[in-house]
Amino acid sequence: MSARHRRDGIPAVLLAESTLNELLWAALMDWLVILLLWGAMAGLWGVAGWAWLLQALIIVLIGGRLHALGVVLHDACHLPKGRLAAQPWATRGLQLLAAYPIATTLAAMRYHHLRHHQGHGLPADPYFKHGASDHLLPAVLGRLRGLLLPLAWHVRPFFGCLVLLGLDWRVTYARVFLGDKSPTPLTSPQTVKELVICLRAEPAQVAFVLILMAIAWWSPKAFLLAYALPLAVAGLANANRVIAEHLHQPCLDTKTTTVLRTTRTHDWGVWGELLLFPHGIGFHAVHHLHPRVGMKRLAALNSWYRQAGVLP
């Protein structure tokens, strides 16, 4: 049996999924850090001289926590739909704490992220960036794309609401805003069902964006420094991670050997946690081998695979 599907011999505790309570707690801890950083930022307003350096550092650190919220939401994407439906209040809590602040919904992330796992390196992989691992220009452009992502994600819910109102733009919504690269028409019952779920989640995201717009009108400086710039940092960190985690060369299959050859692991400890690889997402090879394993267990699972000689 391939390593990707092998479970025999691996301690069951290393293969456990995250619970919604674990993910809510992780999101709350990230928010606690953000609130403390906002307090430090407010204390520096009006301070002349060197204070701008600390402000810049705080912006980067807040961006790291927004990126971390995206990883928390990413973990929820891999939970079975039945578990999410069985705990609606916990799922809504994650939407509020981890999805809306990074300008997305759980449904939208599930749509594009699960397709990445289903077709890693294949033509339909929404994360594949041709040449990004071999040539400087696509590598740089792929990372700079992260600056545009937050803007696109804030436009997406308004576009989705227009589709809900009857405009026949569902395919554009899926292709442009959800990254669907499927070579076939998006008419299968399963795809249509997924798109409807995504669209129905958009009005609540619109309400959140309208609140943000009101805050931006009331205090442009606070909005820029405390949210807009950190979200841009998070977008860059996310785009960089997508490039760095994978060898962007076309694949012919999704076999274990192919996944291991085209997936990268980054263990940067505390420094990775601060910005580039929060919540253990840097252990990306084992994540692709066992997508449902909870983020807190990826480091230990990576160590098990190394000891087994599967990973270097």
Q: How far apart are CA 80 and CA 78, in angstroms?
A: 6
**Looking at residue 98, what is its pLDDT?**
98
Q: How far apart are CA 154 and CA 241, in angstroms?
A: 21
**Looking at residue 1, what is its pLDDT?**
32
Q: Is residue 7 part of a domain?
A: no
Residue 122 to residues 102, 128, 149, 158, 265, Cα–Cα distance (Å): 27, 8, 22, 30, 20
The domain in which residue 21 lies consists of 12-307
Binned average pLDDT, 10 residues per bin, the chain of 312 residues = 56 94 98 97 80 93 98 97 94 97 97 93 91 92 92 96 95 96 92 96 97 96 96 97 93 86 92 94 94 95 90 79
How many helices (H) and strands (E) the chain has is answered by 16, 0
Q: Is residue 295 part of a domain?
A: yes
Q: Is residue 243 part of a domain?
A: yes
**Looking at residue 7, what is its pLDDT?**
64
**Looking at residue 2, what is its pLDDT?**
43
Q: How far apart are CA 8 and CA 1, in angstroms?
A: 10
Strand ranges (E), the chain:
none
Q: Is residue 3 part of a domain?
A: no
Q: Is residue 269 part of a domain?
A: yes
**Looking at residue 6, what is its pLDDT?**
58
**Looking at residue 255, what is its pLDDT?**
84
Q: Is residue 217 part of a domain?
A: yes
Tell me how many domains the chain contains.
1
Q: Using alpha carbons, select from 278, 280, 275, 273 the residue that is nearest to residue 295.
A: 280
Q: Is residue 5 part of a domain?
A: no
